[in-house]
Amino acid sequence: MIYNIRMSPTRGIFTLVEFTRVLRKGGLERLKSGIFCEQFTQNLPMPTYTKTPQGVRAQICVKRIRKSKTFKSMGQARAWAVSQENEILAGERGEIPNKTFSDALDRYAETVSAHKKGSRWELVRINLIKRDRIASVRLKDLDATHVSDWRDRRLLDVSGASVNREKNLLSHVCTIAVKEWKWLKVNPFIGVRMPPKGKPRTRLMTDDERIRLSQFANTEIYREVLRMADFAVETGMRAGEICGLKEVSGQVAVLADTKNGERREVPLSAKALEIWNLGPFTLDSKRLDVHWRNLCKAAGIEGLHFHDLRGVAATRLSQKLTPFQLAKMFGWKDLKHAMIYYRETAEDVAKLLD
């Protein structure tokens, strides 16, 4: 029998029959990984496996951390239990687990990205990054040199703005890995020089382009697209906000769920209210994007995004509203966004002083 002096005499006795039974339940893997000894020296409970209609449910409890997951086979369940126990114990010892950056991206995609509003595009970006060789780097080896090499490779294919967006995503992955998972000790992205921020888009829809769009809006769908575009110009609302608009109270559009997750009220002009009174919008954001591109292509208009109409609205409204009013209407928390659209010259300001 096996006896552990840290346990009580009753619990410390482990018969050969019990030892054999534990080995059959995955104890051999724990012996190889070192977990088996820790479980008995630290009086840790063994994993449990329960057969369910969906498969085999594995449950672990290590250092007051409980986890469970269901798998199709017992082998998968045992392998998962061993890896999770090893990960938790390694974190308690301050050790970095033997995992790659790709493993961190997978866990982030499953536990963080999946719960975001923009999960679709973030998952696409993560899958793209996993094709780069930085994904195969072991976490214990990951440092600033790997990050700078990744930055230089990406700059050969995409703009600096795209690199900065990807960097923000990867840096947050590392931050979560440091603070919550204990997979890293420091964030290797901190301190690494990134490309300067690009200039904001200045592409605006001209009056001539608006006329050409109306000339080619010869189907019901295209006319609906143009109606939503006119509403965007009047309100400055995003495509997703327009598609999801359900409530208008008086002369105010109530947005229950916006990009930053906060409720926002948007004042409506007389023209915007007239457009809304024709009926709720019938297109979702995906269909709106596709049909907008097709309409612009048919009209021979290049480089005009639907989101550029928000800039058209901000430019027009900046002549009527103060920066504080414009920021509140558009949902900006930083006045720098509003100041982009105030393009008065010094002579224009001088005229206001008299």
At residue 23, the pLDDT reads 53
* Phi and psi torsions of 8, nearest 5°: -70, 155
- DSSP annotation of 300 reads T
At residue 229, the pLDDT reads 96
What pairs with residue 2 in β-bridges? 14
At residue 170, the pLDDT reads 95
Q: Which mean pLDDT values do the consecutive 10-residue runs of the chain (354 residues) have? A: 37 48 52 49 66 85 76 83 71 72 94 83 92 94 94 93 93 93 91 85 89 94 96 93 90 83 88 93 92 95 93 90 90 85 76 77
- DSSP annotation of 344 reads -
Contact (CB, 8 A) for 148 and 190: no
Assigned token pair, 183: 């997979």
Distance (Å, rounded) from C-alpha 301 to C-alpha 294?
A: 10
Give the number of residues written for the chain. Answer: 354
- Global pTM? 0.63
Longest CA–CA span in the chain (Å) reads: 98
At residue 9, the pLDDT reads 39
Assigned token pair, 42: 């630290």
What does the buried/exposed string (b/e) look like for 171-184 if buried means 16 or more CB atoms within 10 Å of the residue's CB?
bebbebbbeebbbb
Q: What is the DSSP string of 129-182?
A: HTTSGGGGSBTTT--HHHHHHHHHHHHTTS-HHHHHHHHHHHHHHHHHIIIII-
At residue 79, the pLDDT reads 82
58 three-class SS: strand
